[in-house]
């Protein structure tokens, strides 16, 4: 009986020893560790000060002027720069039609990392899409919605943090109107071949106030208010645009990093 008990105690020890030898044998068959290490190309150095702007970023708005921007419609009033922010300006009408005051960058961008801060007006008594409405249009075509979505019900694929009419945000991270909020966006631009055929759709990842609201979301085409989005060939780089939707939305601290992102298949 004692011998049986001793054997039962030794079996796990022997099994562990055999497994260890087997593992050692497997390790012996592996190539040296240098086989899976490479030293080039060396990533470029980017300094990233706490709370600051990365050293390779292009500052699009630092609170002082609109030198990096132009009005989409030359007849429109320029946005108002005051207290470190740029704000949608009231627009006049020509006949019965209001002039659109969209503003865009003079430079063009494709793949990018974008940081932008916005504030919806605290005195706006509208509701749904009529409250603090604007939008960040990557390449002037693909919109991440800006809206006062703090206790303001609307269709979910049109609330703040949505890729407008395509993907609702994963969560509603909105702050009350009048408070500054942030978007941090990683945008992968669509690719077209020489004949204009789509070879890679666009994708977007976005954080709203530091909270993930879009994760590598597939973009189905340029933003469409009515009907379904559909891709049309366009240049590899286009200006960033901020929307005038008639509400006095403000923006500040806008910077962008140009990227060259690999295809997801890679």
Write the class of the CATH domain 58-258.
mainly beta
Domain ranges of the chain: 2-36, 58-258
Length of the chain: 266
pLDDT tens, N- to C-terminus, the chain (266 residues): 555 555 565 556 555 565 556 667 787 889 999 999 999 999 999 999 998 999 999 999 999 999 999 999 999 999 999 999 999 999 999 888 999 999 999 999 999 999 999 999 999 889 999 999 999 999 999 999 999 999 999 999 999 999 999 999 999 999 999 999 999 999 999 999 999 999 999 999 999 999 999 999 999 999 999 999 999 999 999 999 999 999 999 999 999 999 999 877 64
Helix or strand (DSSP H, E) at 59: strand 58-61
The DSSP letter of residue 26 is H
- The string of DSSP letters for 93-146 reads EETTEEPP--EEESS-BSSEEEEEEEE--TT----GGGSS-EEEEETTTEEEEE
CB of 247 closer than 8 Å to CB of 131: yes
Task: Please give the backbone phi and psi of residue 144, each rounded to the nearest 5 degrees, phi first.
Answer: -100, 120
């Amino acid at each position: 009986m004692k011998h049986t008990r001793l054997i039962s105690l030794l079996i796990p020890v022997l099994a562990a020893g055999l497994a260890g030898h087997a593992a050692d044998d497997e390790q012996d068959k592996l190539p040296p560790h240098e086989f899976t290490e490479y030293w080039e190309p060396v990533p470029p150095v980017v300094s990233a000060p706490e709370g600051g702007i990365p050293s390779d970023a292009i500052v699009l708005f630092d609170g002082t002027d609109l030198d990096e921007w132009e009005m989409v419609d030359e007849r429109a009033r320029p946005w108002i720069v005051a207290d470190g922010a740029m704000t949608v300006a009231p627009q006049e009408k020509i006949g019965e039609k209001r002039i659109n005051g969209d503003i865009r960058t003079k430079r063009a961008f494709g793949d990018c990392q974008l940081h932008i801060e916005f504030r919806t007006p605290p005195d706006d008594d509208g509701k749904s899409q009529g409250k603090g409405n604007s939008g960040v249009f990557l390449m002037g075509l693909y919109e991440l919605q800006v809206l006062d979505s703090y206790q303001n019900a609307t269709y979910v694929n049109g609330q703040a943090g949505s890729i407008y009419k395509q993907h609702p945000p994963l969560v509603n991270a909105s702050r009350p109107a009048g408070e500054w909020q942030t978007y941090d966006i990683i945008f992968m631009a669509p690719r077209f071949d020489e004949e204009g055929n789509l070879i890679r759709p666009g994708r977007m990842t976005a954080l709203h106030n530091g909270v993930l609201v879009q994760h590598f979301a597939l973009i189905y085409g340029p933003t469409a208010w009515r009907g379904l989005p559909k891709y049309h060939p366009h240049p590899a780089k286009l200006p960033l645009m901020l929307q005038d939707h008639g509400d006095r939305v403000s923006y500040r601290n806008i910077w962008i990093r140009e990227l060259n992102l690999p295809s997801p298949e890679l």
